[in-house]
A = this chain, B = another copy of it.
Amino acid sequence: MLLSKACEHAVRATIYIGQQSSTEGRVSLKEIAMEIDAPEAFTAKILQQLVKKEIISSIQGPKGGFTMYKKSIRQIKLIDIIHTIDGNAFETKCVLGLKLCSELSPCPVHDQFKHIKKDYLNMLQKTNIQKMILGLEDGVSCLKI
């Protein structure tokens, strides 16, 4: 699988928070978990990591919740969420698990995966939250089902 389950939740949550921040205001953990159909407590842990990395921001107390700055909605990319939750193993680790794998000392599938990984990474680095929100606003895409 490309993303861990935690990272799937993280991306869906960030998209939801981003969308709600641009129309409504802050949203509560309960609402987020409900709207992205993810377990509440697990989602809480994931959101904490995103807050620490300043991808989203949180407000404590009653009427608290999570929100996302307009600037972040433009600037935060898919790769930032993935780095926060899953780390950078995709970019650094050999596909076949070899300790040493590089252009000079490649694994047997290095060349085949090179282009795929480059295109994938490129897409992750270009896709911002704003872009992912677009389909939601139109009612074309969905976060729940």
Contacts and interface: CB of A to CB of B under 8 A. Distances in A.
Interface of A: 1-3, 5, 8-9, 11-12, 15, 78, 89-90, 93, 95-100, 105-110, 112-113, 115-116, 119-120, 123, 127, 131-136, 140-145
Contacts of A144: 98
Contact of A78 (B109, B110, B120, B131): B109
A94 to B, nearest CB: 9
B132 A11 contact: no
Contacts of A145: 98-100
A95 B90 CA distance: 15
A99 B93 CA distance: 29
A135 B108 contact: yes
